[in-house]
Amino acid sequence: MSAEALSRPFKRLADYLPPAFSIESTDLTFELDPVNTVVTAELQIRRLDSKVVELCLQGQQLELLSVQYKGHLLSADDYQLDDKSLRLTVQDDRFSLVIKTRLQPQANTALEGLYYANNTFCTQCEAEGFQRITYYLDRPDVLSLFSSSLIADPQQYPFLLSNGNKVEQRELTDGRRLVRWQDPFPKPCYLFALVAGDFDTLSSEYQTASGRTVQLEFYVEKGQGSKASFALESLKRAMRWDEERFGLEYDLERYMVVAVDFFNMGAMENKGLNVFNSKYVLVSEASATDKDFFNVESIIGHEYFHNWTGNRVTCRDWFQLSLKEGLTVFRDQEFSRDMGSATVNRIDAVQVIRTAQFAEDASPMAHPIRPEQVMEMNNFYTVTVYDKGAEVIRMLHTLLGEAGFQAGMRLYFQRHDGQAVTCDDFVQAMQDANQQDLTAFRRWYQQSGTPVLSVKRSYDADRRQLTLTLQQKTPPTADQAQKQPLVLPIRYQLLGSKRSSSELFVMTSAQASLTFDNVEATALPVVLEDFSAPVRLQHDYSDAELLRIATEASNGFARWDALQSCWLGWLQQAVAKGESYELPEGLFDFYQQLLHQPLTDLALTAELLKVPDYAVFAENFSPIPVDAILDAITDFRRQLSQRLAGAWLHCYQQQRQTTPDYHETNVGQRALKNRCLEFLALLPECNKTVLEQQYRNANTMTDQLAALKAAQQGGYPGFHTLMEDFGKAWQHDVLVLDKWFGLHASNPDPAVFAQIEALCQHDKFSWQNPNRVRAVFHAFTMLNPGQFHRLDGRGYALLTDTVIQLDGINPQVAARLVTPLLSWKRFDTERQSLLRAALERLADRAGISDDVFEKVSKALAS
């Protein structure tokens, strides 16, 4: 590693100081041009700390044209300028500053700040992108009143949008148009946005609970307008839901959503002007899967819910990111749960924690939901901050109950509306509204790692007494050696006893025990219902006991979870044996029963009938026996398909007819049908007709894609012809092509390397577009473990080359892609040395971004 690289600084939570200046108002003028945009920022500034004389504004990748202080043009020796900041000494307590900068939006491939792609100007300011627009106090605790004037050619850019209310529109004498916007709510600069371009629009109105009318406006790529109507309806449902469940109403006259294809993440909650990745807005039954519809509704909800949890009350500093993200993910999960199958929603959320989040905690990037040091903030938009953050909020909800939680929310808004606050402020509001001491609970904010909760049973036959001994222990993580016991809300039920309803036990120390009097020897405790705490559970249940829970528990999640435990046990035995492990008769019976008599919740039935994915199994091993896991999964699937061949077919035929629309029953039916198809495709005799028929006759993308996937996994010889057909049929729709790219890249055959090379030459592929890049490489690294982890290192080399290529274009996306290389210590020695070499190649590269460097250097130091 070079000396320059080693000296890259961390920012620390402990170093937080309140701002010495406030920016009371920010008036921005943009003269928009793809290669030469001039930004004039007029700031009204007030000194807050009279001892401070230096004003240091951050700025990056900017060309400074001029600075005026109180109306006087400054010369170059009146200020200090470097590639990160503009500093000046100020004598006055109040003054104006007018700063002119020049930008080249078209050359901005990082997609942070102001960028130009697909003939559209667009901004992304969170976390620290605003400093790529003008010199500013780019921190979330500086709240300012924003107004903005957008000037552009009206033929090319008929729509000129920004936050708040449109207060002026006129044509200038030179033919350009000026549109002026004013946002009445003070906000941090990360919530600023502008968009300029030509779009299809879709609009509607919404009546709030208090009777105000809000204009809802969607702006999408020309020709795609009809694909935005589901998102628009989702938005209305989200607005209604937030009024009913949280008593929160929208606060502006207009709510705009713009969909763009060039975007680094899912979506962004800019005040009154959300910007979305087009894949989370544009859906139709023909082009999008049920999962896509689900994601659209949940992300539309997520960004809308930020209006209160994020925008009205924002973060004091970026270490507090989970204040808005954990809480908003919790809110969007609750929304989704009310809109569809509650159990399957919970299962999906838990899968994210158990695979991605547990893996992150076990990796060199481990951090608490409130990190304490950061090199590049963009690296901390993580499953830990978001999803584990949401689990922590969920535990508060479990501990306080709905009424107590809502009382806490009301107090939080009463105290902090219009402020930039900390996670502690949030917990304090919950504590004060409920008169409950949450001191010990706060450890969840500072402690990283995954607690292991072990449960031991003992039964005293004479006294008819069952005792559960619980123990919690959090193993050390890369960032923290010492761990303390955490507050764990444990939901449980006792099967085969009179006390059959679910109860709550709050564990606060390292050890605890629970006794049940007057119970039979056969009474069976079901622990951690609904995954009431984000822990790894260890127990000594037999297959028979687990299968009993899977059939008898009243909690749907617990049924599924018991089966997960079974699968893990069987897989561990298969790996230990190194040969085929015969699945128990009890499983075949249980599946046979489900296939002949599915539960009312068909989507849950489909989940119960699934062999867990590689990632689920891998997370439970160290070192990870890649090949043995993959072999065992293949063998399990083969056993199930053969033993239950008739039942799969029977159930498949029962569920065959579905109407295309996205409704809970149809979604469940499709999920179950396509699970059956997955197993049918493994049987040589019925491949052809069933697969071909479903592919040709599909009335939804869900069914069509399921047929393709089943054909691929089943090794169907006609697969390539189907892929060719699909690629041609959907050439015009990049979002569908992304699915096709992904399917190619997840081909478990060595031919995938040549295929990926060809995909990168495809005329719809672009290294500049994160959706295209992710479609190929996310699929390759996450859905193709066999080829990615090849023992000749070819998979790792491909990813390393890709990260290098991408880092020069878009460091934020490059740094997300590098993640699978970081956990090198979890593999066998051969793979370890290959991965280590890959990491070293990245660390040694001159000019590697902070984004990639932060992760790679941590990995190498681990």
List residues near Zn ion by CB under 5 A: 325, 328
Residue 194: CB minimum distance to ligand TRP, A: 15
CB of residue 263 to ligand TRP, shortest distance in Å? 7
Residue carrying structure tokens 């729509």 = 159
By CB under 6 A, tell whether 101 contacts ligand TRP. Answer: no
**Residue 381 vs 614, nearer CB to ligand TRP:** 381
For the beta sheet containing 273-277, the strands, ordered from the edge strand earlier in sequence to the opposite edge, are 200-207, 213-220, 254-260, 273-277, 267-268
d(CA 122, CA 226): 22
- Check residue 311 for interaction with ligand TRP (CB under 6 A): no
Quote the least distance from Cβ 379 to ligand TRP, whole Å.
Answer: 10
DSSP 231-242: HHHHHHHHHHHH
Alpha-carbon separation of residue 415 from 349, 411, 419, 862 (angstroms):
31, 6, 9, 42
- Identify what 426 binds: Zn ion, ligand TRP, none; CB under 5 to 8 Å per kind: none
Among 138, 217, 261, 269, binds ligand TRP (CB under 6 A): 269
Q: Choosing among Zn ion, ligand TRP, none, which partner's interface includes residue 267 (Cβ < 5 to 8 Å by kind)?
A: ligand TRP
- 548 makes contact, choosing from Zn ion, ligand TRP, none, with CB < 5 to 8 Å by partner type, with none
CA 570 to chain centre: 31
Closest CA to 333 of 353, 312, 363: 353
Least distance in Å: CB of 42 to ligand TRP? 26
Complete DSSP assignment for 102-122: EE-GGG-TT--EEEEETTEEE
Nearer to ligand TRP, 378 or 555 (CB): 378
What b/e string do you get for 82-97 counting C-beta neighbours within 10 Å, with b at 16 or more?
eeeebebebeeeebbb
**Is 137 near ligand TRP (CB under 6 A)?**
no
Active site positions, annotated: 303
User: Could you tell me the sign of the dihedral formed by the alpha carbons of 756, 758, 759, 765, in that order?
Assistant: positive
Q: State the DSSP string of 782-844.
A: HH-HHHHT-TTSHHHHHHHHHHHHHHTT-HHHHHHHTHHHHTGGGS-HHHHHHHHHHHHHHHT
Which listed range, 57-65, 121-129, 390-398, 636-644, lies at the site for ligand TRP (CB under 6 A)?
121-129
CB of 388 to Zn ion, least distance (A): 14
Sole window of 195-203, 259-267, 491-499, 647-655 interacting with ligand TRP (rule: CB under 6 A):
259-267
Q: Is 238 a residue that touches ligand TRP (CB under 6 A)?
A: no
**Contact window for ligand TRP (CB under 6 A) among 31-39, 222-230, 262-270, 788-796:** 262-270
Burial of 479-499, coded b for 16+ CB within 10 Å and e otherwise, reads: bbeebebbbbbbbbbbbebee
Transcribe 382-403 into DSSP letters. Answer: -HIIIIIHHHHHHHHHHHHHHH
Q: With CB cut-offs between 5 and 8 Å by kind, which of Zn ion, ligand TRP, none does residue 819 bind?
A: none
* Minimal distance, residue 776 CB to ligand TRP, in Å: 21
Where b means 16+ CB within 10 Å and e means fewer, 305-338 reads bbbbbbbbbbbbbbbbbbbbbbbbbbbbbbbbbe
Identify which of 243, 188, 187 has the alpha carbon closest to the alpha carbon of residue 214. Answer: 243
55, 57, 127, 429: which one binds ligand TRP (CB under 6 A) = 127
Exactly one of 126, 141, 332, 851 binds ligand TRP (CB under 6 A); which one?
Answer: 126
- Picked from ligand TRP, Zn ion, none, the partner binding residue 124 (CB below 5 to 8 A depending on kind) is ligand TRP
Q: Are 217 and 201 in contact (CB under 8 A)?
A: yes
Cβ distance to ligand TRP smaller for residue 272 or 668? 272
Q: Does 810 bind ligand TRP (CB under 6 A)?
A: no
Total interface residues for ligand TRP by CB under 6 A: 13
What minimum distance in Å lies between the beta carbon of 328 and Zn ion? 5
**Amino acid residing at 289:** T
Contacts 24+ apart (CB under 8 A), 629-635: 629/571, 629/575, 630/785, 630/786, 631/574, 632/571, 632/574, 632/575, 632/581, 633/571, 635/574, 635/580, 635/581
Binding of ligand TRP by 369 (CB under 6 A): no
In the chain, the N- to C-terminal Cα span, in Å, equals: 15
Q: Is residue 268 close enough to count as binding ligand TRP by CB under 6 A?
A: yes
Stretches 100-108, 265-273, 417-425, 697-705: which one binds ligand TRP (CB under 6 A)?
265-273
Nearer to Zn ion by Cβ, of 325 and 601: the residue is 325
Rounded Cα gap, residues 852 and 17, in angstroms: 28
- In the complex with ligand TRP, the residue whose CB is nearer, 302 or 416, is 302
Segment 285 to 304, residues that bind ligand TRP, using CB under 6 A: 302-303
Q: Which is nearer to ligand TRP, 386 or 636 (CB)?
A: 386
Q: Which is nearer to ligand TRP, 148 or 264 (CB)?
A: 264
Q: Which one, of 260, 264, 262, 289, lies nearest residue 274 by Cα?
A: 260
Find the shortest distance in angstroms from Cβ 300 to ligand TRP.
11
Q: How far apart are CA 164 and CA 185, in angstroms?
A: 8
Cis peptide before 127, with omega less than 30 degrees from 0? yes
Q: Does 553 sit near ligand TRP (CB under 6 A)?
A: no
Output the smallest distance, CB 702 to ligand TRP, in A: 26
For β-strands 536-538 and 85-89, DSSP reports them as unpaired
When CB distances are held under 5 to 8 angstroms depending on the partner's kind, the choice from Zn ion, ligand TRP, none that residue 629 binds is: none
Using the minimum distance from each CB to ligand TRP, give the nearer residue, 381 or 541. Answer: 381
DSSP code of residue 354: I
CB of 124 to ligand TRP, least distance (A): 5
Cβ closer to ligand TRP: 301 or 485? 301
619-629 exposure pattern, b = at least 16 Cβ within 10 A, e = fewer: bebeebbbebb
265 binding ligand TRP? (CB under 6 A): yes
Binder of ligand TRP out of 108, 109, 123, 124 (CB under 6 A): 124
Binding letters toward ligand TRP, positions 562-581, x by CB under 6 A: --------------------
Measured from the CB atom, the residue of 345 and 450 that comes closer to Zn ion is 345
Q: How far is the CB of 191 from ligand TRP (least distance, A)?
A: 9
| Contact flag: residue 217 with ligand TRP (CB under 6 A) | no
Burial class of residue 522, CB neighbours in 10 A (0-12, 13-18, 19+)? exposed
Binding site for ligand TRP (CB under 6 A): 124, 126-127, 264-265, 267-269, 302-303, 325, 378, 381
